[in-house]
């Protein structure tokens, strides 16, 4: 019945914005990298957590280990868009959805056909030489043995992913805020909303309907018009794709 309620909300909305987290990628077989094991390092005589292994410091000081972890735990070349990605692309095509704001870095929204996607944490699909800024795709980085180097100048190639210790792209953040400010409905899916900057961005929403879809409980359920504790891909399949 909650799906019916979501259907009604979607039908009555004209400017939906979707805000998504790690749970959106789960159905595409992409686990949260934070569930990976830590790594012990001699130099500091301690173990680094998955978060530390995707930090700016780790990229700079342990570049080879950074890419080992990055290639194993952050890039999934075989992953395909799931029902959530496909449903959102469909709603955009129909003119009902204005933007997707995502914390994910897998580029699956674009692969599903979404055009307006604000990637708060960047994308594994884009990579740049740290010296001459030449662009490289994900395949180039994945096929490189160890550290990927630029063909033109020999510089180290860095994924266009926001690492811990790095700031978000202000332009992307302000575009995301603008989209959320202008939305009549905000659907938040696959995130528990505790991670910065998710919680802060949601405060800009001034529209009618706030919908939360997440397997486990989220932080701000009291403000929501509709809360669904289910897998986001299943919910979007039922609400948008199943006629």
Q: Pick the closer one to Zn ion by CB: 111 or 160.
A: 160
d(CA 34, CA 54): 10
Is 197 a binding residue for Zn ion by CB under 5 A? The answer is: no
Q: Pick the closer one to Zn ion by CB: 98 or 158.
A: 158
Q: Of 113, 155, 197, 207, which one interacts with Zn ion (CB under 5 A)?
A: 155
Q: How many residues bind Zn ion (CB under 5 A)?
A: 8
**Contacts to Zn ion from residues 100-129, by CB under 5 A:** 129
What phi and psi values does residue 179 have, to the nearest 5 degrees?
Answer: -65, -45
Residue found under tokens 């690492």:
163
- Least Å from the CB of residue 126 to Zn ion: 15
Strand partners, 51: none
Alpha helices per DSSP H over 108-195:
108-112, 138-143, 170-181
Q: Pick the closer one to Zn ion by CB: 102 or 127.
A: 127
Cα distances from 159 to residues 45, 63, 154, 196, in angstroms, run: 28, 12, 16, 21
- Least Å from the CB of residue 158 to Zn ion: 11
d(CA 152, CA 26): 37
Q: Of 80, 115, 152, 206, which one interacts with Zn ion (CB under 5 A)?
A: 152
- Least Å from the CB of residue 145 to Zn ion: 18
Active-site pick, 45, 56, 109, 121: 121
Closest CA to 209 of 23, 24, 10: 10
- Least Å from the CB of residue 125 to Zn ion: 18
Token pair recorded at residue 24: 């959106």
For residue 121, indicate whether it is catalytic. yes
Is 150 a binding residue for Zn ion by CB under 5 A? The answer is: yes
Q: Of 132, 194, 195, 241, which one interacts with Zn ion (CB under 5 A)?
A: 132
d(CA 182, CA 148): 41
Active site residues: 121
Residues engaged in binding Zn ion (CB under 5 A): 129, 131-132, 134, 150, 152-153, 155
């Amino acid at each position: 019945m909650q799906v019916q309620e979501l259907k009604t909300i979607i039908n009555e909305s004209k400017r939906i914005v979707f805000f998504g987290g790690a749970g959106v990628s789960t159905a595409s077989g992409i686990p949260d990298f934070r569930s990976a094991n830590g790594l012990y390092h001699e130099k500091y005589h301690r173990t680094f957590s998955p978060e530390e292994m995707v930090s700016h410091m780790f990229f700079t000081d342990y570049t080879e280990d950074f890419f080992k972890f990055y290639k194993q735990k952050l890039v999934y070349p075989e992953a395909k868009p799931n029902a959530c990605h496909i449903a959102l692309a469909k709603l955009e095509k129909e003119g009902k959805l204005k933007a997707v704001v995502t914390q994910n870095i897998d580029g699956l929204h674009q692969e599903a056909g979404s055009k307006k996607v604000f990637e708060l944490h960047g994308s594994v699909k884009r990579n740049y030489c740290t010296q001459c800024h030449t662009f490289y795709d994900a395949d180039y980085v994945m096929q490189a043995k160890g550290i990927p180097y630029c063909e033109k100048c020999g510089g180290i190639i860095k994924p266009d992913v926001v690492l811990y210790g790095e700031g978000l792209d202000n332009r992307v953040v302000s575009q995301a805020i603008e989209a959320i400010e202008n939305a009549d409905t905000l659907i938040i899916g696959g995130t528990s909303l505790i991670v910065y900057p998710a919680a802060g961005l949601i405060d800009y929403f001034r529209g009618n309907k706030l919908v939360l879809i997440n397997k486990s409980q989220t932080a701000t359920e009291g403000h929501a018009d509709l809360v669904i504790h289910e897998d986001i891909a299943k919910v979007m399949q039922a609400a948008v794709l199943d006629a």
